[in-house]
Amino acid sequence: MKTLIALLGIVAATSGSAAFAQGDWDVIGSRNVGWSADRDVIPVRGQARYRQIRLCAFGGPVHMIDLDIRFANGGRQDAAVRSLIRAGDCTRAIDLNGQDRNMTEVRVVYERARYRQRRSPVVRVLAH
């Protein structure tokens, strides 16, 4: 009986995190990571307003160096994401300052964590 209860608890915990991972996050941009440290500006089109963003790595690990978010009202927010993102993983959800915000662009500085891999990793910016 204890084993059944433990098993049900594990299923409930993992299904909740999978729902959060897929939830209402919109992909607002993506870029391929170059061979060396790379700077990219990812434009955000439209008038959508978001509360949080996060960055996800696909095809290989990525070392995030800097993240700068620009808003339609001229404001900006520098977010501390200086960390390694493994392939298939995302950064923590980063709260945008103020109420729901209208972003115009996301500026990222990053580099490949593995230089010998053939495929270029892709970084996606998600927001909700």
CATH number at residue 119: 2.60.120.1380
Tokens of 64: 């995030």
Specify the pLDDT at position 61.
Answer: 93
* pLDDT at residue 20 tops 90: no
- In whole numbers, what is the pLDDT of the chain averaged over residues? 81
Q: Is residue 50 part of a domain?
A: yes
Angle at 113 between CA 28 and CA 85, to 5 degrees: 45
Token look-up 């204890």 returns: 2
| pLDDT grade for 10, boundaries at 50, 70 and 90 | very low
Indicate whether 7 pLDDT > 70.
no
In the structure encoding, which two tokens stand for residue 105, read together? Answer: 């662009």
Distance (Å, rounded) from C-alpha 87 to C-alpha 122? 9
Q: Which residue has the higher pLDDT, 114 or 32?
A: 32
- Asked if the structure places residue 37 within a domain, the reply is yes
Q: What is the mean pLDDT of residues 45-66?
A: 92
Whether residue 5 lies inside any domain: the answer is no
Confirm if 55 and 123 have CB atoms less than 8 A apart: yes
User: What was the pLDDT predicted at 94?
Assistant: 94
**Does residue 17 lie within any of the structural domains?**
no
In a domain, 78, yes or no: yes
DSSP code of 99?
Answer: S
Expressed as residue numbers, the domain containing 61 is 25-127
Give the pLDDT confidence of 41-55 residue by residue, as tens digits. Answer: 999 988 889 999 999
> Contact at 8 Å (CB) between 43 and 104?
yes
Evaluate whether residue 20 is within a structural domain.
no
Domain count, the chain: 1
Chain center to CA of 91? 5
Residue 84: exposure state from Cβ atoms within 10 A (0-12, 13-18, ≥19) = exposed
Query: Does the residue 15 lie in any domain?
Result: no
Confidence of residue 22 (pLDDT cuts 50, 70, 90): low
| Statement: residue 106 has pLDDT above 60 | yes
In a domain, 18, yes or no: no
pLDDT exceeds 90 at position 100: no
Residue 108 confidence (pLDDT) above 50:
yes
* Spatial separation of the C-alpha atoms in residues 101 and 25, rounded to whole Å: 15
